[in-house]
Amino acid sequence: MKVVIDTNVILGGKKRLLLRPEFALLVNFLKTQSSTLVVPRIAFLEAVNKFREETEERINKVRSSIESLDKHLLTPSGSQPSSVTVDQAVDQYRNALEERLTQLAAEQPDHADIPHADLVTRDLARRKPFRAGGKAQGRGYRDALMWETVIRKVAEKDVETVLITNDVTDFSDATKPVLHRDLKKDLTDRGLSEDAVILVISLEAFNSEYVKPLLPEVLDIPSAIEKGKYPLFSVEAFFNDKFEEIRQQVSDAIDNQGEEFRYALPYMPSEMSSLSVDGMGEPEGICVTEGYKIDQGDIYVQINLRLMDNEIGFFITKSEAWMLHDRSPVSINEEDWNEGVSWACVYASLDVTLDVILNPTDGAVRSWEVSEATFVEEWPDEELDEEQA
């Protein structure tokens, strides 16, 4: 099997270097099933570019925070956003990602020789991955390069190729997450089966379908961890030791969940942005849902936690701040953050999933990440009755 990963898979997880526990499951599969990892060069280049954009965005956020702090203080703080330039950070990331792909023996087919005229013809015909209609019309050039690379240089007869991407709408049929008919026709036009490339919508979905069924399941260690009786690893101790890193990862996970958060509590603003966990509660209701033995005897475990009373900060427009309902749980921390927005906060509960790769011999944690964080709906009965009425 050839496993092709898109940019969004590379960018998943901390450090953006394919080190997350879910990727460790894929690496285990590649080794044990004599499969090949394929990272098209266009995916690599876009990952580097996305890293640049994220770095610039984070530096700008820090700069804005420093400016706000200096406005508040009687004496300017003298703080600086970063001693590392954007170009230096990007160079470090590019080199580290190149090194990681070399470690993984990843193939990196290039797109330089794909004729531009072929892409223009594809775009004008509005064939996937190009998008048709509305503001999205004509978008999809990078995805088209990615796809042309796959069908010209990766897919072949008698070898299953799986494309893992979160960009479902660009490659799939609208009704279900399978390869779009335009793309299936590309395959048959080249003498391949229309199933020569299989679309999988996430790394987690690939692991659930292809990897975990082949792994030995472990029951005793996850059960002991959940009951707090495993001597080599304690969820509470790990949580306290990694508290700040977990808080930051949970913040990253909820950053774009303003729409979901809007319905978690009563009388919330209609629009919120830049959500962050400014204060995090202690874990309750620990549940270890999965345990698998992987390469070299390590154990993959998935741990679900409920975090209560988390302080969630976010931006809202000043007009939203002025019109908050009297019974809204939202507090305005800084009304004049800038000319257009206020900084607000509210207390809410979160369900958080931790993925951990654990050495059962000494309890050492090989890798870990917050793989998911979602808001818990907390509507008092009287508020729910009023809303439903």
Residues 257-306 have pLDDT tens digits of 888 888 888 899 988 988 999 999 989 889 999 999 998 889 999 999 99
List, in sequence order, every residue forming a beta bridge with 314; answer none if it has no partner. 344
Reply yes or no on whether the pLDDT at 138 is more than 60: no
Mean pLDDT of 219-227: 95
Average pLDDT, the chain: 89
Mean pLDDT of 359-373: 94
Quote the tokens at residue 37.
Answer: 């990892």
Taking residue 57's Cβ as centre, other Cβ atoms within 10 Å add up to 10
Residues 140-153 have pLDDT tens digits of 899 999 999 999 99
Give the pLDDT score at 368.
Answer: 95
Reply yes or no on whether the pLDDT at 317 is more than 60: yes
The Cα–Cα gap between 363 and 383 comes to 46
The Cα–Cα gap between 72 and 68 comes to 6
The Cα–Cα gap between 298 and 279 comes to 33
Sequence letter at residue 299: I
pLDDT above 70: percentage of residues in the chain? 92
Higher pLDDT, 334 or 60: 334
Mean pLDDT of 37-43: 97
Residues 228-267 have pLDDT tens digits of 999 999 999 999 999 999 999 999 899 878 888 888 888 9
User: Which pTM value belongs to this model?
Assistant: 0.85
Reply yes or no on whether the pLDDT at 316 is more than 80: yes
Give the pLDDT score at 381.
Answer: 54
Give the pLDDT score at 385.
Answer: 47
Closest CA to 182 of 173, 195, 169: 173
Reply yes or no on whether the pLDDT at 36 is more than 80: yes
Mean pLDDT of 32-49: 96
Reply yes or no on whether the pLDDT at 363 is more than 70: yes
257, exposed or middle or buried, with CB in 10 Å at 0-12, 13-18, 19+?
middle
Residues 75-93 have pLDDT tens digits of 776 666 667 789 999 999 9
Give the pLDDT score at 24.
Answer: 93
Q: What is the 3-state secondary structure (H, E, C) of the chain?
A: CEEEECHHHHCCCHHHCCCCHHHHHHHHHHHHCCCEEECCHHHHHHHHHHHHHHHHHHHHHHHHHHHHHHHHCCCCCCCCCCCCCHHHHHHHHHHHHHHHHHHCCCECCCCCCCCHHHHHHHHHCCCCCCCCCHHHCCCCHHHHHHHHHHHHHCCECCECEEEECCCHHHHECCCCCCECHHHHHHHHHCCCCCCCEEEECCHHHHHHHHHHHHCCECCHHHHHHHHCCCCCCCHHHHHHHCHHHHHHHHHHHHCCCHHHHHCCCCCCCCCCEEEEEEECCCEEEEEEEEEEECHHHCEEEEEEEEEEEEEEEEEEEHHHHHCCCCCCCCEEEECCCCCCEEEEEEEEEEEEEEEEEECCCCCCEEEEEEEEEEECCCCCHHHHHHHHC
Mean pLDDT of 201-220: 95
Report the C-alpha dihedral over residues 162, 167, 170, 175, rounded to 10 degrees. 90
Residue for token pair 């954007």: 86
Mean pLDDT of 346-355: 95
pLDDT range class, residue 60, cuts 50, 70, 90: confident
pLDDT range class, residue 16, cuts 50, 70, 90: confident
Q: Which of 105-109, 220-224, 323-327 has the lowest mean pLDDT?
A: 323-327
pLDDT range class, residue 135, cuts 50, 70, 90: very low
